[in-house]
Amino acid sequence: MTETSDEDLVRQCRAGELRAFDALVERHQRTVFNLALRMVRNGDDAADIAQTVFVKAYENLERFDPQYKFFSWLYRIAVNESLNALEQKKRFEGLDGVEIAVEPADEKDDEALRQEHRIQVGLMLLSVDQRAVIILKHMQGLSYREIAQVLDLPEKTVKSRLFSARQAFKDILKRKGPRRNDRRRAS
């Protein structure tokens, strides 16, 4: 049986079928949550952001342009909400950067976990613009064009931002690698 497309589900939602929106949530909740999680690093915040993303998507469904892919539109809301959350946190804490409590990697953790830990800390040391482009490319697997749609940037800018972000990330990991039990400031 073929799966109902996002576009068909959106049409059903616009006709007042709430269960069609449940299907969209079910389909995209994991990617939206993970996108937010990698942006803000905190699971509770990421769940709140994901909820806000879907509620905003529902409330603005009439404004969705079907010539674009639904997930691009959803990711755009997710990136914007993550940036808002980081901004609010920064304002609330009155710092020029957010204090990121890096969870210690346990001695018993396997190498893969330690690697993930280093990567997440490294991501938080990138600028938010660089972080977003790295996450969309390498963790969400989007093409240059899709990233350009999500971030509302020219494709050329996406490429140059991605290349410099990758370079910066390489340098962060190479410099010394974030130490365990580290507490660092990142925006």
The contact set with another protein (CB under 8 A) reads: 18, 21-22, 25-26, 29-31, 33-34, 37-38, 43, 47, 50-51, 54-55, 58-59, 112, 115-116, 119-120, 134, 137-139, 144, 159, 162-163, 166-167, 169-170, 173-174
CA distance 101 to 121: 10
Minimum separation from the CB atom of position 170 to another protein (A): 5
By beta-carbon proximity to another protein, the closer residue of 55 and 95 is 55
Minimum separation from the CB atom of position 91 to another protein (A): 25
CA distance 104 to 106: 6
By beta-carbon proximity to another protein, the closer residue of 34 and 90 is 34
Minimum separation from the CB atom of position 120 to another protein (A): 8
By beta-carbon proximity to another protein, the closer residue of 91 and 176 is 176
By beta-carbon proximity to another protein, the closer residue of 83 and 139 is 139
**Do the Cβ atoms of 29 and 50 come closer than 8 Å?**
yes
**Do the Cβ atoms of 54 and 25 come closer than 8 Å?**
yes
CA distance 31 to 50: 9
Minimum separation from the CB atom of position 181 to another protein (A): 20
Using CA atoms, how far residue 72 sits from 66, 67, 187, in Å, is: 11, 11, 24
CB atoms closer than 10 angstroms to residue 54: 19
